[in-house]
Amino acid sequence: MTEPASKTRPRPHPGKGKKRARPTPKGRQTDPEALADIRALLGDRPRRRDLLVEHLHLLQDRYRHLSARHLSALADEMRLSLAEVYEVASFYAHFDIVKEGELPPPPVTVRVCDGVVCEMMGAQALHRSMEGQFGGNVRVCSGPCMGRCAAAPVASIGDTPVDHGTVEKITDALASGSPAAPESAAAHSFEAYEAAGGYGFLRALRGGGLRLESCLETLAASGLRGLGGAGFPSMRKWDFVRAAPSPRYLVVNADESEPGTFKDRFCLASDPHRVLEGMLIAAHGIGAEAAYLYLRDEYSEIRASLLEAIAGLEAAGLGLPSGIHLRRGAGAYVCGEESAMLESIEGKRGYPRHRPPFPAEAGLFGRPTLIQNVETLYWIREILEKGADWYRGEGRNGRKGVRLFSVSGRVRLPGVKRAPVGITARQLIEEHAGGMADGHSLKAFLPGGAAGGILPADLADQPLDFGTLEEYGAAIGSAAVIVLSDGDDLQKIAQNLMRFFAAESCGQCVPCRVGTEKAVKLLAQPRVDQALLEDLAQAMADASICGLGQTAPNPLRSLFRYFPETLSGGDAG
């Protein structure tokens, strides 16, 4: 049917009404020089999306910041939108983004740890005393717990830690231009480890000399648990993943960022091959195609040692079909949560996933995935050598097993302590940590780091194990025992912990993002509104997506329950 003449659209005159073609595509244009920089930096490395965080690390390491032009060029080279690259780069604290027109940061950055133990040992005074001392070539700023609580206060110059930091130590290190790490990972050759019996169980499993079922039975009988915090029976996790269709993956969580925790650093620095053998036995046990080890970025002194150890493994033919991959964290506490860690390994922001599905069903790259803590893998070889009865016989006070405790705070001998499961905090202090520091009396302790709650001294005779402290509003978690004395202000301790949680919230859910921030402000009021804080704590625990928001209120609840007298005043810190 023909339209009426009055409604018929006029035809455009030939040659008129045409839009000119744009000389360039819409959006930010890639700088050819910046693109050349990116291509030279990446070399023949793959441009896969899951390597985005790794490539951002290369860029940060090379230029000490991420410029707008380089981010645009990286996006172009990886065939990603600039928004995808920017949202990832801006999520992680260790990436310094410099926008157009802004000056880059000074070439040297000194970070002073503001973790709870370092603050107890004078980190704030150290920070203040260095401000403005070094001129425009040095930036002084704070940083979260660096995993060196036994050497508090701690600072870092670039990637190099400075234990028991003082202005003089840091000034001398800056003047020398080459600060020496106080503790570097020793060289651990594959040959030396193998000569001492290492990788014997792995070779026997792969060669058929040791039945896998026998190995699994021994580990199951030992009662070995996940020792990163949750304490879930390890062999049950292995069974879930083994029952899932292949390909399967193994992920090692070495992103210990809980204030007061440093046991995994001890394992990897002192005996990396022992951890790697446990990892490969676990990979064999579930039939994993590949293993990914997610290492905390602050542990730079361990990274080179691990890369060397992995290269030795693969040269000896003990690798995995799709490889052993070392991935760097980038300064995000939330990535210690297993699903957030998987997102980070995939090159994304570390947002925790909603569950179900659980990682054993749909984990890394959507495939069944076993996630294990470093310390859990550390014990596997010794359990297979000595047997399940040995491991179970190591417990105390009716508990079974042995584990590593990170002990710090007001004790004479802080450090990683190998002790029986079920030992009490008082026994741990007296038998393994040299007793209380001179001039200090035990007032309280954190049994499980920042999220484990704060218990009074009269509960220091309770066994330290999973499931024994929950009735007191606490948890052992990663076994980070921070000892407090009568000279410590518990409200300031709680403020420090809540500032940490507020800074580290990923921001995905309102209860955690807003709740932690509001808690910090309420604690700083001249008179603390305990009823309002209790309501806030309950809302955070009930409605937060992941463990960060769910356990962040634990220090507050401890003050309400055991130390209400400390809430009479506030200090913004």
pLDDT per residue as tens digits for the range 292-328:
999 999 999 899 999 999 999 999 999 999 999 999 9
Higher-confidence residue of 361 and 131: namely: 361
User: In terms of DSSP H, where are the helices of 393-440?
Assistant: 425-432
CATH number of the domain within which 163 lies: 3.40.30.10
19 pLDDT band (50/70/90 cuts)? low
Q: Residue 92 has which token pair?
A: 């992680």
572 pLDDT band (50/70/90 cuts)? very low
What share of the chain in percent tops pLDDT 90?
A: 87
Name the least confident of 73-87, 165-179, 302-316, 431-445.
Answer: 165-179
Residue 404 phi/psi, 5° resolution?
-105, 130
Tens digits of residue pLDDT in 263-290: 999 999 999 999 999 999 999 999 999 9
Q: Is residue 155 part of a domain?
A: yes
pLDDT value for 571: 45
189 SS3 class? coil
- Say if residue 454 is in the same domain as residue 322: no
Average pLDDT over residues 135-160: 94
Average pLDDT over residues 45-74: 97
123 pLDDT band (50/70/90 cuts)? very high
pLDDT value for 235: 96
pLDDT value for 184: 44
Judged against a pLDDT cut of 60, whether residue 7 lies above it is answered with no
pLDDT value for 23: 65
DSSP states of 470-517:
GGGT---TTTEEEEEETTS-HHHHHHHHHHHHHHH--SSSHHHHHHHH
pLDDT value for 510: 94
Please name the residues in contact with 245: beta carbons below 8 A apart, sequence gap of 6 or more: 368
Domain boundary among 440, 459, 485: 485
Higher-confidence residue of 320 and 181: namely: 320
Buried b (16+ CB within 10 A) or exposed e, 240-260: bbbebeeebbbbbbbbbbbbb
Q: Is residue 540 part of a domain?
A: yes
- Say if residue 406 is in the same domain as residue 309: no
* Structural domain boundaries, residue 526: 490-568
- Say if residue 475 is in the same domain as residue 502: no
CATH number of the domain within which 540 lies: 1.20.1440.230
Q: Is residue 7 part of a domain?
A: no
Domain count, the chain: 5
- Say if residue 300 is in the same domain as residue 151: no
- Residue 358 DSSP class: P
- Say if residue 170 is in the same domain as residue 113: yes
pLDDT value for 179: 59
- Residue 405 DSSP class: E
pLDDT value for 14: 56
- Say if residue 426 is in the same domain as residue 521: no
pLDDT value for 565: 86
- Say if residue 377 is in the same domain as residue 516: no
Q: Residue 529 has which token pair?
A: 């509104």
pLDDT value for 180: 56
pLDDT value for 135: 80
pLDDT value for 176: 85
- Say if residue 426 is in the same domain as residue 522: no
- Say if residue 170 is in the same domain as residue 223: no
Judged against a pLDDT cut of 90, whether residue 527 lies above it is answered with no
Q: Is residue 30 part of a domain?
A: no
Q: Residue 550 has which token pair?
A: 């769910």
Q: Is residue 124 part of a domain?
A: yes
Q: Is residue 35 part of a domain?
A: no
* Sign of the Cα pseudo-torsion (195, 201, 203, 207, in order): positive
187 pLDDT band (50/70/90 cuts)? low
Tens digits of residue pLDDT in 103-113: 999 999 999 99
pLDDT value for 10: 56
- Say if residue 324 is in the same domain as residue 379: yes
List the one residue out of 379, 353, 375 whose CA is nearest residue 366.
Answer: 353
Q: Residue 531 has which token pair?
A: 């009823």
Q: How far is CA 306 from the centre of its chain?
A: 17
Q: Are β-strands 138-143 and 160-162 bridged in parallel, bridged antiparallel, or unpaired?
A: unpaired
pLDDT value for 292: 98
- Say if residue 374 is in the same domain as residue 232: yes
pLDDT value for 12: 57
Q: Is residue 399 part of a domain?
A: yes
pTM here?
Answer: 0.92
Judged against a pLDDT cut of 60, whether residue 433 lies above it is answered with yes
What share of the chain in percent tops pLDDT 70?
A: 92
Distance CA 149, CA 409 (A): 8
CATH number of the domain within which 57 lies: 1.10.10.1590
List the one residue out of 55, 224, 255, 26 whose CA is nearest residue 144.
Answer: 255
CATH number of the domain within which 358 lies: 3.40.50.11540
Q: Residue 527 has which token pair?
A: 């008179």
pLDDT value for 136: 83
Average pLDDT over residues 246-261: 96
pLDDT value for 188: 77
- Say if residue 300 is in the same domain as residue 200: yes
Judged against a pLDDT cut of 80, whether residue 438 lies above it is answered with yes
178 pLDDT band (50/70/90 cuts)? low
List the one residue out of 311, 293, 217 whose CA is nearest residue 249.
Answer: 293
Judged against a pLDDT cut of 60, whether residue 4 lies above it is answered with no
Q: Residue 465 has which token pair?
A: 């194990």
Distance CA 451, CA 446 (A): 9
Domain boundary among 98, 121, 136: 98
Higher-confidence residue of 301 and 164: namely: 164
Q: Residue 415 has which token pair?
A: 């450090």
193 SS3 class? helix
Average pLDDT over residues 440-444: 98
Residues facing residue 402 across a β-bridge = 420
∠ CA 314-294-242, rounded to 5°: 75
Domain boundary among 418, 452, 485: 485
pLDDT, the chain, mean: 92
Q: How far is CA 463 from the centre of its chain?
A: 27
Distance CA 64, CA 158 (A): 9
443 pLDDT band (50/70/90 cuts)? very high
- Residue 350 DSSP class: -
Q: Residue 29 has which token pair?
A: 């244009």
Tens digits of residue pLDDT in 360-390: 999 999 999 999 999 999 999 999 999 999 9
CB contact at 8 A, 123 and 163: no
Average pLDDT over residues 243-261: 96
pLDDT value for 25: 63
CB contact at 8 A, 504 and 486: no
Q: Is residue 31 part of a domain?
A: no
Burial bucket for residue 219 (CB in 10 Å: 0-12, 13-18, 19+):
buried
Distance CA 337, CA 505 (A): 12
